[in-house]
Amino acid sequence: MTASDRASLTGQATLLRRDAFAFFLVWLPRAVLGMFVLATMVFVGLWFAFLTDGQRAAFDADTGAGIRHFLSHAGWWPVAATAAWTLILGLATQLQFLRMPMPARRLHYEADAEGLVTRDEAGAELKIPWSIVREIRPTQHLLLLKLNTRAWRYLPWRAFAPEDRARLIALARRHSALPAAAHGA
C-alpha cells in the first residue's frame, strides 16, 4: 500500500438545487426516450383499437394516407405526454430536494482505499466500498458513481479541492473491482 492509498481525501459541501438538477439532467435523456417510446406504443395501439371498420379498410388500402391521418389527428399525443412527463419529473426532483432538511444537505466526504464515506450534519452516514462501484463517470459539476445495485450516487466537485479531484478519480478506479473500460474513461 502506497502513502497515497493510506491518505484519505476529504471534502465538504452543502447540496444546492443545481446539484440535484445536474443529476436530473444526467438521467433525463434515458427517461424521456423511454417515455416517448411507451407513449407512442400506447397511443398507436389505442388509435388502432378505436378505428371503425371503414377507417381500418381505408388504412389497409392506403397505408401512407393512414399514417398521415394518424400523425395529423393523434401523433402529437406522445410528444405532449413526454413533455408532461419531463415537467412532472423535474418538479418532483425539485420538490424532493426542497423537502430535505438543511442539516441533511450539509455533507462531509472521506475517500480512502476502502471506499467513500458520506456523513451529513443530521447524523446519517453512508459507506460505499469501492468494490461495489460499477461505473465512475466524472461530469463537469459532479462525480457520478453507479453501484452494483443499479443505484447512483453523486458528489459535487466543489466539495473537493481542485488538486484532489484527479486523485479521487484515480483512487476510485484503482480500488474498484472493474476493468478500466467500465469506468467511463
pLDDT at 183: 47
Residue 27 pairs in a beta bridge with none
Residue with cell 407512442: 40
Q: Is 109 exposed, middle or buried (0-12, 13-18, 19+ CB in 10 A)?
A: buried
Measured CA to CA, the distance from residue 28 to residue 125 in angstroms comes to: 28
Task: Specify whether the CB–CB gap between 94 and 18 falls below 8 A.
Answer: no
pLDDT at 177: 60
pLDDT in tens, the chain (185 residues): 455 445 789 999 999 999 999 999 998 999 999 999 999 999 888 888 888 898 888 888 998 888 888 888 877 889 999 999 999 999 999 999 999 999 999 999 999 989 999 999 999 999 999 999 989 999 999 999 999 998 999 999 999 998 899 999 988 888 776 555 554 54
DSSP H helices in 101-184: 102-105, 162-175
pLDDT at 179: 56
Q: Compute, in degrees rounded to 10, the torsion defined by CA atoms 169, 185, 86, 149.
A: -70
Cα-based angle 161, 165, 169 (whole degrees, multiple of 5) = 155
Backbone angles phi, psi at 152, to 5 degrees: -115, 145
Domain spans of the chain, in order of start: 3-15+102-183, 23-99
pLDDT at 1: 46
Task: Specify whether the CB–CB gap between 85 and 35 falls below 8 A.
Answer: yes
pLDDT at 178: 58
Fold classification of 3-15+102-183 is PH-domain like (2.30.29)
Helix (H) or strand (E) holding 59: helix 53-61
Task: Specify whether the CB–CB gap between 133 and 146 falls below 8 A.
Answer: yes
pTM: 0.72
Measured CA to CA, the distance from residue 80 to residue 82 in angstroms comes to: 5
Measured CA to CA, the distance from residue 39 to residue 80 in angstroms comes to: 9
Tell me the one-letter amino acid at 76. Answer: W
